Structure 1
Amino acid sequence: MSCNCGLSVSTVNRLYAICLTGIVSALIVQSASAEVVQPKSSVSQNITRRELRERLVNQAELLSQVPNSPTLVEVTGVEATPTDKGVEVILQTTQGQQLQITNRSADNNFIADIPNAQLRLPSGDGFIFRSENPIEGITEITVTNLDESTIRVTVIGEAGLPTVTLFDSDEGLIFGFTPVVSSAQTPQLPAEPEGETQTEQPSTPDQPIELVVTGQQDGYSVPNATTATRMDTPLRDIPQSIQVVPQQVLEDQQVIRASEALRNVSGVQRGNTLGGIIEVFSIRGFQQFGGTLRNGFRNRFSVAETANLERIEVLKGPASVLYGNLDPGGVINYVTKQPLSEHFYAAGLQVGSFGLVRPTLDFSGPLNPERTLLYRLNTAYERGGNFRNFDTEVERFFISPVVTWKISDRTDLILELEYVNGQRPFDRGLVALGTGIADIPFDRILGEPDDFMEATSFSTGYRLEHRFNDDWTIRNQFRYSFSNNINSRIEPGRLNEATGELNREFAEAETTERNYELQTNLVGNFATGSIQHTLLFGVDLSWVNEGGESRFEPAPSINIFNPVHGIAPRPGRDEFSDVFPLESQTNTLGFFLQDQITLAENLKLLIGGRFDNIDQSSPSDERQDQAFSPRVGIVYQPIEPISLYTSFSRSFQPNFGNRADGSLLEPVRGTQYEVGVRGEFLNGSLITNLAAYEITRSNLAVTDPDNPNFSIPSGEQRSRGVELDVTGQILPGWNIIASYAYTDARVTKDDNLQPGNLLDGVPFNSASLWSTYEIQTGNFQGLGFGLGLFYVGERQGDLNNSFQVPSYVRTDASIFYRRNNWRAGININNLFNVDYIEGTGQRRNRIDPGAPFTVRGTLSVEF
């Protein structure tokens, strides 16, 4: 957008130069998703309607008024009346204060969905109101029924997104629109009529509706994301593939683990779990050992909790330009729920197969009458649910309080804390036999029944944002995280395939990680002539310290076909013969600059670069590395629903593996080329993305075949593929999320592996389809059904391609009933009880079986 703060172009250009060179020491913060504009809930009897109109709504906000109305609100008339500033659209109803508004605006189109409402006009049109070119600067106004219980208001601006004022009156719900004027014009406020004073206004003035940023999205269609640019950006303007799994999908599929949600995204497969300690994913053929993100911060060795997730964003391809040292395949960002300004209470309970019990609570609301202090509290407890024959139970407790302090209308502070403690079996899974999987029951364990791991993680931090004006914002955020993992286990070794005897060894480990991260960003909107800029400049600092040790001792072997457990007791801590210290320190300093440039209304350029300096140290080695990570992308929109894009990006990541001699490996480097087309159909309710790409990465750490507890560098690997994702609403009540991926990922150069070998755990073809339908009217209104199909083709089990994992099709189903403020449902996973492999760990003795036929019943209520 153009700068409207009264600065000349030359001054703006000087500010632009200052941004590039002089903001290094500025404190910043990654933002919460949007700015809140929150008028008071009551107004003096003497306030004027004109003053109400000047309470403008930021065009990036999501607007809502809580609570929902359980019954339909009838809108019996619509009027579009020109005003001295623009045009007012009046939805005539006596229940305007009960309406909730969700902003789905994009580009020049203001789009507001109003649930629990129905348009019933007295005219012959019945269900639609349309006004073309009502005033200069606005080309069309449409008010229509989106479905049987939702009204959609659409206002199309000629030169930009109109500014909107929202308030309530005796007439109904009123939208006041001010069109964007061209840069050649200087907007003038109308003069006050002579003699007009506040005391001359009617005794019952219009009341402003409170505007609340909920951060929540309705349905499966999410038009914006933050991961690709560190700002809330429309997907259609991003020259890189990005998919979003919204909260509604998490609810409909009753997701407990992130892996259950990410099976909906093309090109994402679950990888090595390190015995269940973490969830590692393969994106576009490359396993993401660099970790995931949580609200933009690194989230390494842990299992993400889904109880407080708002959505999951998956950015495909290198993301180093914004987040530093990450794998080139992509990154997963877990976006958490934020405090609400109205009271909200929700409770849920899941029970299911294998003794699963999982209650959850979600509370939010204001802490003071002025609503400047808001809170949110999410907590979950989980027990059971594991189908494998361990004596160790799954047990997990999670709690996360968040407080938002609106220090002023320009400054917000968010304080966060998260604590997780859990134990579960340490499980290496099954083993390979010949060129396939050993034919043994999927619930059979090859370790010991009391193998366990216990993990505790704690994180806390803040996010501070200050808006200097409508165009310039500074953000600063800090996060401290701590994790501790303890495990006692039996490690599988070599298998005698003739006899079925599996060599084993006792193992114990205790590891800790401390991570300090500081991020500072400056965001500015300005124009250089007719070209619009959104500038992002940032500085990131991180200090990561890992410590602990691993211990090993020979253990009795076991026969995989006729196992006998408990032959020998576990050794005491001082009885282990092999002890390996685990100590490392990684310090990172990164600077980045990004500019989103609007060259024309339908032509947008994204350009950015990052410089990283990384110091690594271990007890036996030290190294320092520097890297420059660029990204360039362009988006062309020939027609409004279609975006054609292409991009180039590079990644850089320090290697966390050690050679057998203790030396650190050289960094991993990656390069991606991508082209794609993104479409938004059915008024933006259905989003599609088709992409083709090629990624190469070099110097990857892989398991040393002669010393399995250490790593060696692999020469070069390449992944090429095509991906298709479809997400959204086809018809009222009918939602869909579907994907297809063709991935050709293989070794291209290597001193230790055969060139041409396929990467492990990566199928050539994979696809998913999940769809729900909820009856919208009649006696069965609120009754819904879901069906899911998940296909994964044949995969290689290790980099040597010594065995293959067979393909499978898994079928899921659900039935649910939603009425007013409560929901009940039954989800069936693996409906036909097929045997399938969830993931492999790059070895013949680390193969994770998928769960059999599983039932989960759920009950949730909001109040």
Structure 2
Amino acid sequence: MRVRDALRNVSGVYLSDTGGNFGEQFNIRGFRSNNYTNAFLSSIVDSFVFVDSANIERIDVLKGPSSVLFGRAEPSGIINYVTKRPLPTPYAAVGFTAGSYDFYRTTVDLSGPLTSDGNLAYRLNVAYEDANSFRGTQGRRVFFAPVLEWKVGPETKLTFEVEHTRDNRPFDQGLFAVGNGVAPVPYNRLFADPKGLISGNVTRVTALLEHRFAENLTMRSGGRYTSYLESYPSLFSAGELLPDNRSLLLANQRGYGYTESVTFQNDLIWKPRTGSIDHTVLFGLELGKFAQSFDAFFGFANVIDIYQPPPYVFESPPGSSVFVGIITTSSFGVYLQDQISFSDNLKLVLGGRYDTVSAPFTDLQTGDVSPSEGQAFSPRVGLLYKPASNVSLFANFNQSFAPSSGLSTTGTPFLPTRGTGFELGAKADLLANRLFANLALFKIAKTNVVTADPANPRFSIQVGEQESQGVELDVSGELLPGWNVVASYAYTDARISRDNTFPVGNRLPTTPLHGGSFWTAYRIGEGALEGWGAGAGVFMVGERLGDLDNSYSVPGYTRVDAALYYRRGSLNAAINFKNLLNAQYIEAANFRTAIYPGAPFTVQGTLEVRF
């Protein structure tokens, strides 16, 4: 399962980019999201490789500016992957999935205590995937994630976790824009070299120490090391579509990229009481170091006709340009938050965070250094009031902070990009707590956006501003025993509010005005058919613009999925029917030369046995 499948039922979240069929990047409330794993920030590069679901316990989507708790972030929100932890009793599960286009995947999940007293426990998740696609690309991946959890004492726990992913697949940018729409070519037509593989290797090592000093005082201290190596010995991709709108100039790239990051976090949680008022005070420090280096060769190759069916000839260029550089990012953050409970029905959250970031880029050929640094204070205020036991009203004000990149004519570092968000909403438990509903109205402004310098296009200036406002509704619950529903709707109006390059009022790319979903499933709980179930759902996404210039759009779509499954005892079996009505649609669009079509009707069957 890809992350996009799990997030289809979350309002205001859309796939925005696949990085050439190598990863998944999402858009929340009109802006790019940031990815985290167990509250540790994943760099843009080390998240290019698809996140493997084998080790994911759950996915948390936190909307709005989140810099107080999560540091550098876009104002839209974050996606946090929570990994699986060791279990206190022996557990084993083996799963196998097979499906359309020669999709094969095997998973193993093992857990249990390693000592008789249960103080030392482990978990191991392994996955192997070999899958073709409807566009004729074949990818292979190996994933494993061992975890050790040691209860050092009654108040202390130490967790050590490793994740390693090796992924190989062709670089596929998808389709292209012609005029104000998508080129009228078959959606399965591949313009990439199927032999031009990208090899990505990601290793993450995390250590987490948790200690309780007293009943109301705990500490969480952790460190994370990440390394990512990407190599592409010979990679053909889209250079540009020539003015005749049919001749595609290919680009040839070869080289490697390497990133390494180290992050330390330390949180202290104190729960004092002042009179009748309860507090939950969080004080934290975060220190990070991130280095990215690359050594790449680039050159234009031959031209192919996009209206001519393959096979195509991919010829290496006679010459190429060399890019050698390194970016080193150093960051420090300190934050303080107090959740104040005046009563069971009135709570106030006050918080703030101060960050400093330095991220210079060094061109190792010329020795030129492009500075980028900044510091910012990000406040947070939230209020929750419960007029009834099953209804909560809330209001939030947040700010976000993210370093800016680019080069000014004076060499002066740019100010950080700031996000300011306001949110009002209500939450309700309905039908005797069987149905949960969440309604939110929001407005977000993103300032200090870097845009091209009109006097010198080789440089940038910092004048841009973008805004997003809208309403979101999420509903989920069990209407009757065995009958579950999940529904969502989002209206998102995300536009440019100030810019010297693109017209003010243009919509932000990849964000539809309207989007929604509905999924329902029923499982029989007793009788001869106990354990059998079925589900069906519809996912709707409106028209989206493909770039900031609004030069083209991709049409909206409606996709229907269904599933049959059996869950009883130690056996889980399911058949998933994706895009049941075989709709032809664009899943994501990013610039004029990276338009990703969605897969046609596919079937996948999964069998899992637990021991």
TM category (shorter chain) comes to over 0.9
What amino acid is the match of 2:396?
S
Note if contact 2:129-2:142 (Cα within 8 Å) is conserved in structure 1.
Answer: yes
Q: Counterpart in 2 of 1:651?
A: 400
Residues 582 and 688 of structure 1: CA distance in aligned 2, closer, same or farther (over 3 Å): farther
Relative to the length of structure 1, the TM-score reads: 0.67
1:511-551 deviation digits (Å, cap 9, x = unpaired): 11111000001101111111110110000000011111332
1:341 corresponds to: 88
Q: Does 1:799 align with 2:542?
A: no
26, 29, 38: which is aligned to 1:284?
A: 29
Q: Distance in 2 between matches of 1:374 and 1:317?
A: 37
Q: Is the 8 A contact 1:477 1:520 kept in 2?
A: yes
Q: Which residue of 2 aligns with 1:628?
A: 377
State the alpha-carbon separation in 1 of the partners of residues 519 and 241 from structure 2. Answer: 39
Q: What's the offset of the Cα at 1:568?
A: 4.6
Partner of 2:487: 738
SS in 1 for 2:387: coil
Residue number in structure 2 paired with 1:305: 52
**Counterpart Cα distance in 2 of 1:330 and 1:263:** 16
CA distance in 2, matches of 1:360, 1:705: 53
Alignment partner for residue 103 of structure 2, among 330, 335, 356?
A: 356
Residues 1:500 and 1:566: Cα distance change in structure 2 (over 3 Å): closer
State the match for 1:667 in structure 2.
416
Give 1:664 shift.
Answer: 6.2
Residue identity over aligned pairs, in percent, reads 43
Q: Give the 3-state SS of the residue equivalent to 1:260 in structure 2.
A: helix
Q: Distance in 2 between matches of 1:672 and 1:313?
A: 19
Instruction: Give the structure 2 partner of residue 141 of structure 1.
Output: none
Map Cα deviations across residues 774-825 of structure 1 (whole Å, 9 max, x no partner): 0112111111001010000011111111111101000000001122110111
- Name the residue aligned to 2:269: 523
How far the C-alpha of 1:495 sits from its partner, in A, is 2.4
Alpha-carbon distance change, 774 to 429 in structure 1, aligned in 2, over 3 angstroms: same
Other-structure match for 1:409? 154
Verify the 8 A CA contact 1:423 1:455 in the aligned structure 2.
Answer: yes
Give the 3-state SS of the residue equivalent to 2:53 in structure 1.
Answer: coil
Cα separation, 1, equivalents of 2:475 and 2:418: 31
1:856 counterpart residue number: 604
Question: What is the CA RMSD across the aligned residues, in angstroms?
Answer: 2.2
**Residue 332 of structure 1: aligned partner:** 79
C-alpha separation between the residues in 1 aligned to 2:5 and 2:449? Answer: 27
What is the aligned counterpart of 1:846 among 591, 594, 599? 594
Contact 2:178 2:245 in 1 (8 A): no
The runs of 5 or more residues in structure 1 that have no matched partner are: 1-255
Change (3 A) 1:398 1:663: farther
Q: Is 1:694 matched up with 2:443?
A: yes
- Report how far residue 736 of structure 1 moved: 1.8
Distance across 2 between alignment mates of 1:404 and 1:336: 13
Aligned residue number for residue 263 of structure 1: 8
How far 1:489 moved relative to its partner? 2.4
* CA deviation profile, 1:187-239 (whole Å, cap 9, x unmatched): xxxxxxxxxxxxxxxxxxxxxxxxxxxxxxxxxxxxxxxxxxxxxxxxxxxxx
Instruction: After superposition, give the CA deviation of every residue in 1:98-155 in whole Å (9 maximum; x if it has no partner).
Output: xxxxxxxxxxxxxxxxxxxxxxxxxxxxxxxxxxxxxxxxxxxxxxxxxxxxxxxxxx
Structure 2 equivalent of residue 446 of structure 1: 191
**Among candidates 377, 381, 384, match of residue 128 of structure 2:** 381
How far is 1:661 from its partner?
10
1:814 aligns with 2:563: yes
Aligned residue in 1 for 2:496 = 747
AA aligned to 2:147 is V
Q: Which amino acid aligns with 1:447?
A: A
1:547 and 1:763, CA in 2 relative to 1: closer, same or farther beyond 3 A? Answer: same
CA change 1:635–1:621 in 2 (3 A) is same
Counterpart-to-counterpart distance in 2, 1:257 and 1:659: 40
Query: For 2:280, which of 531, 534, 543 is the aligned residue?
Result: 534
Higher fraction of strand: 2
Higher Cα Rg, which structure = 1
Change in CA separation of 1:509 and 1:659 when aligned onto 2, cut-off 3 Å: farther
Q: Does the aligned pair in 2 maintain the 1:796–1:803 contact within 8 Å?
A: yes
Counterpart for residue 593 of structure 1: 336
Which residue is equivalent to 1:275?
20
Instruction: Report the equivalent of 2:386.
Output: 637
1:577-629 residue CA offsets vs partner (Å, 9 max, x unmatched): 21222311111111000111001220000110000111221112224311000
Aligned mates of 1:570, 1:448 — CA distance in 2 = 12
Aligned pair in 2 of structure 1 residues 559, 608: CA closer, same or farther (>3 Å)? same
Task: State whether structure 2 residue 514 is matched by structure 1 residue 765.
Answer: yes
Equivalent of 2:294, from 544, 548, 559?
548
Match of 2:365 in 1: none
Q: What stretches of structure 2 of length at least 5 have no aligned partner?
A: 363-368
* Corresponding residue number in structure 2 for 1:580: 323
**Matched residue pairs, number?**
600
Q: Distance in 2 between matches of 1:672 and 1:429?
A: 34
Tell me the CA shift for residue 274 of structure 1: 2.1
2:223 match: 478
Report if aligned partners of 2:371, 2:411 keep a CA contact under 8 Å in 1. no
- Provide the rounded CA distance (Å) in 2 between the counterparts of 1:376 and 1:503: 49
Deviation at 1:726, TM superposition (A): 1.2
* Distance across 1 between alignment mates of 2:599 and 2:455: 33
For 1:703 and 1:837, the matched residues in 2 are separated by 29
Q: Does 1:369 align with 2:112?
A: no
Say whether 1:612 aligns with 2:380. no
TM-score normalised to the size of structure 2? 0.94
Partner of 1:169: none
Quote how far apart the aligned CAs of 1:659 are.
Answer: 7.2
SS at match of 1:368: coil
Which has the larger helix fraction? 1
Instruction: Please give the secondary structure, in 2, of the residue aligned with 1:321.
Output: helix
Distance 2:346 2:293 in 1: 50
Query: Aligned to 1:582, what secondary structure does the other structure show?
Result: strand
Distance 1:376 1:568, change over 3 A: closer
Deviations 1:251-302 (A, max 9, x none): xxxxx211111111100111122213331111000023xx300000012332
Q: CA deviation at 1:711?
A: 7.6
2:531 is the alignment partner of 1:786: no
- C-alpha deviation, 1:662, in angstroms: 9.0
Cα distance in 2, alignment partners of residues 628 and 835 from structure 1: 46
Query: How far apart, in 2, do the equivalents of 1:702 and 1:489 lie?
Result: 30
